[in-house]
Amino acid sequence: MQSGPREITTPFRPIPLDVPEGMKPNEFFNSTENLDDLEHNNGLLSNPENLLLYRKALGHSNEFDTSIIYNTSKVVLNPLGRPVRRTQVPDNVRHVWNRMNQIIIDYMLEQYPDPERHLVLAGEASLDATWPLTSPGVPSIRMLHNHFIVFPMDELRAAKVADPKNPNLTDGGQHSLFEEYMHDVYREFICKALHLEVLRPVSDDAARLSLTGYPHGLPSWEIPGGVAQLEDVRFWHEYDLVLKGFIDFYRTFFSQVSSRNAPMLTDLFFPDPVENVLLFNNDFLKTAKKVRDHCISDPKYANAIRWQPAFKQLIYRNDEGKLIVTISQNSIGNAITELLGVVVNRNADAEAYGKLEPKLIERLLEVRRRLVEADLGEALETPYWSKS
């Protein structure tokens, strides 16, 4: 079978929301009213930490698809002032969130134990204020949220091969600025900054899915012990270290793009490796100059730059059944699934969705039951399901 990214079509029920006259859709979808729809029409569970588990109305997969959002829409009205990555989340909230992640991933792997039959993934992308406000690619929700998704492998095998030049397919070998121009310095920095005891680095081949050929060229780590390791708080500490290292690299690079020979940032997580590895590396600084010169001469290119850290961080199961962690630079428009070479086209088709909905909701309600049992929140009622 031909290896390459796959493009699938997923039906959904149209969202019953009317955009007020005079507002653009992306302006409305940033509003508290839109978040009310997540809670009242799609909400499964909420807790005092403002974490909301909900059914994805515009889903990636109708096999299993849910998200947790840090719903600060009513406590931080400024969309640009909301936490947009885990490093900005209070410790007590992150602790609860990690426990919710562990229980949901455990359920997914229990229900879908065979990597030949199902692709299982969980993680988050920076769908946040790193976009220019005027960009047509501005996401609908400027708050940190993550994804839990399962795709049937038969569906992916039967899907057409996607165009690998699709700009949404941000993989290390083709589109990622870090990987294309700064492959070696990126890895040297990550190695010297992160002193990992749980996560083990793996090769590109071990990380890559044979069906799609993705991801490749990205730093990846195996989770030894599999899903049981997710019950150890040390794993979640190292999962955050991976993000912190990425953020330091990203922020340092774009500070040099913005201002030639910019001083080292004062609020870094790993200042010594930044100073000793990045700011004395010719490839790193040559690439910053290349991007800076391009920004000066090309306003369209400059407007597309995401000056704040934009990332996708993922836990997924590889072909051998091992759990892998990887992280990538994000680009405008792409979804977290595309890091693994899966492009999802959503199709408004209430009838087709309705045939799949009962089994999907059955699985989501079982996840909710387990979270309530673990004292991680209270069940919500919607027109589609009750509290019980």
Tell me what pLDDT residue 249 has.
96
Report the distance separating Cα 281 and Cα 275, nearest Å: 10
Could you give phi then psi for residue 271, rounded to 5 degrees?
-65, -35
pLDDT in tens, 310-341: 888 999 999 999 999 999 887 655 678 988 99
Tell me what pLDDT residue 169 has.
77
Instruction: Kindly state whether residue 1 falls inside one of the protein's structural domains.
Output: no
Tally the domains of the chain.
Answer: 1
46's tokens: 């909420």
Q: Region 137-159: what's the mean pLDDT?
A: 84
Instruction: Kindly state whether residue 156 falls inside one of the protein's structural domains.
Output: yes
Instruction: Kindly state whether residue 384 falls inside one of the protein's structural domains.
Output: no
Q: CA torsion sign, 275 to 277 to 283 to 288? A: negative
Instruction: Kindly state whether residue 385 falls inside one of the protein's structural domains.
Output: no
Instruction: Kindly state whether residue 387 falls inside one of the protein's structural domains.
Output: no
| Enclosing H/E stretch for 363 | helix 350-373
Q: Is a pLDDT exceeding 60 seen at residue 294?
A: yes
Tell me what pLDDT residue 29 has.
64
Look-up of token digits 């920004």: 295
49 neighbors 343 (Cβ within 8 angstroms): no
Instruction: Kindly state whether residue 298 falls inside one of the protein's structural domains.
Output: yes
pLDDT tier, 83 (very low <50, low <70, confident <90, very high otherwise): confident
> What counts of helices (H) and strands (E) characterise the chain?
11, 13
Tell me what pLDDT residue 135 has.
59
Q: Which domain holds residue 23?
A: 6-379
β-strand partners of 137: none
Q: Is a pLDDT exceeding 90 seen at residue 110?
A: yes
Range picked from 89-98, 140-149, 180-189 for highest mean pLDDT? 89-98
Instruction: Kindly state whether residue 388 falls inside one of the protein's structural domains.
Output: no
Q: Which residues contact 35 (CB under 8 A, 6 or more apart)?
A: 69, 71, 73, 74, 141
Mean predicted lDDT score pLDDT of the chain: 89
Strands 6-12 and 342-348: parallel
Report the distance separating Cα 370 and Cα 347, nearest Å: 31
Q: Which of 315, 314, 313, 323 shows the shortest CA–CA distance to 113?
A: 323
Tell me what pLDDT residue 22 has.
79
Higher pLDDT, 15 or 385: 385
Q: The pTM is what?
A: 0.92
pLDDT in tens, 27-57: 666 666 667 778 888 999 999 999 999 999 8
337's tokens: 């699934």
Instruction: Kindly state whether residue 386 falls inside one of the protein's structural domains.
Output: no
pLDDT tier, 75 (very low <50, low <70, confident <90, very high otherwise): confident
